[in-house]
Amino acid sequence: MAAGNDKQAQVPPIEWLETWCVTIPLDRPLIVFGRPVTTREFVFVRVGAAGKVGTGFAFTRGLPIDTVIRRQLESLVIGQPASAIRQIWTTARSTMRMIGEGGSFARALAVVDIALWDLLGHMLGAPLWQLLGGSSRAVPCLAICGYYGKGDHVADVRHEAEQLATQGYTRFKIPFGADLDLDIRRIAALRDVVGPHALVALDAGAAFNSVKAAQAAWRQIEQFDIAFLEDPFSANEWNLALHLANTTTVPVAFGESLASPAAIQRLGGTQGIDVVRPDATHQLGVTGYIQGVAPALEHGRALFPHYFPDIHAPLVAAFGGMMIEESPTAVDTVGLYRLRATQPAIRNGYWYPNGEPGFGIHWDDHALQQFRTPTPS
At 178-224, the pLDDT tens digits run 899 999 999 999 999 999 999 999 999 999 999 999 999 999 999 99
What tens digit of pLDDT does each residue of 41-51 get? 999 999 999 99
- Identify whether 192 is part of a domain: yes
**377 has a pLDDT exceeding 70:** no
Question: Whole-prediction pTM value?
Answer: 0.94
Upper half-sphere CA count for residue 348 (Cβ side, 13 Å): 1
Task: Please tell me the total count of domains within the chain.
Answer: 2
What is the spatial distance between Cα 289 and Cα 186, in angstroms, rounded to a whole number?
34
**C-alpha–C-alpha distance, residues 40 and 37, integer Å:** 8
Burial of 354 (0-12, 13-18, 19+ CB in 10 A): middle
105 within domain boundaries: yes
Asked if residue 320 belongs to a domain, the reply is yes
What letter would DSSP give residue 81? B
Burial of 176 (0-12, 13-18, 19+ CB in 10 A): buried
**Range of lowest pLDDT (7-11, 57-61, 226-230, 234-238):** 7-11
pLDDT digits (tens, 9 = 90+) for 277-288: 999 999 899 999
* Distance from C-alpha of 102 to C-alpha of 244, rounded to nearest angstrom: 25
From CA 141, how far away is CA 348, in angstroms rounded?
A: 9
Quick: pLDDT tens for 98-146: 667 777 899 999 999 999 999 999 999 999 999 999 988 899 999 999 8
Dist. CA 296–CA 276, nearest whole Å: 7
Number of helices and strands in the chain (H, E): 14, 13
Q: What is the mean pLDDT of the chain?
A: 92
Which domain range does residue 241 map to?
130-359
Q: What is the pLDDT of residues 308-337, one digit of tens each?
A: 999 999 999 999 999 999 888 878 888 999
**pLDDT 10s digits, 337-350:** 999 999 999 999 99
pLDDT at 2: 43
Q: Are residues 258 and 329 in the same domain?
A: yes
Q: Measuring CA to CA, how many Å separate 24 from each of 29, 40, 259, 337?
A: 12, 5, 25, 10
Q: What is the CATH number of the domain that holds 176?
A: 3.20.20.120
Backbone angles phi, psi at 352, to 5 degrees: -110, 105
Q: Are both 116 and 214 inside the same structural domain?
A: no
Output the pLDDT for position 1: 39
**Collapsed DSSP state (helix, strand, coil) of residue 247:** helix
- Residue 82 near residue 258 (C-beta atoms within 8 A): no
Q: Kindly write down the DSSP assignment for every residue of 123-169, as one continuous string.
A: HHT-BHHHHTT-----EEEEEE---B-SS-HHHHHHHHHHHHHHTT-
Return the bridge partners of 365, or none: none
Q: What letter would DSSP give residue 322? A: S
**Residue 376, in any domain of the structure:** no
Residue 377 lies in a domain: no
Same domain for 256 and 112: no
Domain shared by 163 and 285, yes or no: yes
